[in-house]
Structure 1
Amino acid sequence: MLKIGYVRLRDPRSTEDTASLKAAGCHVVRAEEPAGLAFDDSSVLNSIIDFIAEGDQLVVTRLGHLGSSARDLLDVLDRLESRGASLMIADAEICSLGEGGRALRAALGAVAAVEPPWAGRRRKGAPAEDIRALQAAGVGPVEIARRLGVSRMTVWRKLKEATA
């Protein structure tokens, strides 16, 4: 079994995390300097998951290195399981195999069920077309903001721009 460590840099504890991963027996430790805050752009994490083989283990010190929402974390777990690999969270001493894995998946599933659809995603605002389409369908600005996960001010600003 190959243990592959993953750490996101720009975290105040990233140096300690790298040492912890090596101490946890990781054969390889890959670090990623995130370009932004979006986890969708985690090219190092994606390449690890694409490379990882059956029986291998991805090791992180904290779940926060894998995603910013429960949905992101469940996606990583699903991708690892589809490859026959497992996840180990070193600080919590939880592995995605066995009882701990079932408990982890249940907890993340419960959190994902109550998270808003835009949780963990940085938004630069909703597309004006989406706002206008909802308004044309008779949806009010406050409800548009809620549905699209933006502020009411963003909705008002986009509607004003559309009429200008």
Structure 2
Amino acid sequence: MLRIGYVRLRDRRSTDDTVTLKSAGCHVVRAEEPEALSGDASQVLSSILDFIGEGDQLVVTRLDQLGGSGRAVLEVLDRLEERGASLFVVEQDISSQGLGGQALRAALQAVMAVEPAWTSRKRKGQLAADEVRALQAAGVGPVEIARRLGVSRMTVWRKLKADA
């Protein structure tokens, strides 16, 4: 069984996680630089999930290393199961195998059920004024426009005011 460690390097604690993963018996530890991340998309994690084989284990220190949402973590669990591999979380001492794995999946599904389908907001400047105008022309109010586009109401009001 190959144990593959994965860590997203976000802060000083993440650097310590690399040492923790090595001491947890990981044969390989792969780290993701912050610049390489775009939301939950991770090239290093994706390559690990493509490479990992049956009976192997992906090891992380905390679940948040796998993504910023319950949905992202569930997607990783699904990909691991497809490959016949498992997940082990060091700090919580939980595995995706057995009863603990069933409990982990149930908890993540419960979280996913209450978290919105969109988990990240658009950054300032990314919202095109024509998107706001098109929705307003279709009779959609500013509050609903903000909800649909995943931005604050104030952002919508600013775009509308700029066009006036």
**What TM-score do the two structures reach when normalised by structure 2?**
0.88
Corresponding position of 1:113: 113
> Aligned equivalents of 2:153 and 2:39: distance in 1?
26
**Paired amino acid for 2:28:** V
Map 1:19-30 → 2, pairs under 5 A: 19-30=19-30
> Aligned equivalents of 1:81 and 1:47: distance in 2?
15
Corresponding position of 2:69: 69
Corresponding position of 2:60: 60
Counterpart check, 1:97 vs 2:97: yes
RMSD over aligned Cα atoms:
1.9
Counterpart check, 1:123 vs 2:122: yes
CA separation of 1:95 and 1:68: change in aligned 2, threshold 3 A? same
> Which secondary structure does the structure 1 equivalent of 2:29 belong to?
strand
**Paired amino acid for 2:22:** K
Q: How many residues align?
A: 162
Task: Check whether the contact 1:38–1:122 (CA below 8 A) recurs between aligned residues.
Answer: no
Task: Check whether the contact 2:58–2:88 (CA below 8 A) recurs between aligned residues.
Answer: yes
> Aligned equivalents of 1:146 and 1:41: distance in 2?
23
> Which secondary structure does the structure 2 equivalent of 1:35 belong to?
helix
> Aligned equivalents of 2:83 and 2:46: distance in 1?
13
Gaps of 5+ in 1: none
Task: Check whether the contact 2:2–2:27 (CA below 8 A) recurs between aligned residues.
Answer: yes
> Aligned equivalents of 2:141 and 2:64: distance in 1?
36
CA separation of 1:107 and 1:155: change in aligned 2, threshold 3 A? same
> Aligned equivalents of 2:102 and 2:70: distance in 1?
15
**Paired amino acid for 1:25:** G
> Aligned equivalents of 2:121 and 2:138: distance in 1?
26
Corresponding position of 1:158: 159
Instruction: Deviation per CA, 1:89-135: give whole Å up to 9, x if none.
Output: 0110111111111111111111111112222x252244444433322
Sequence identity percentage: 70
CA separation of 1:148 and 1:122: change in aligned 2, threshold 3 A? closer
Gaps of 5+ in 2: none
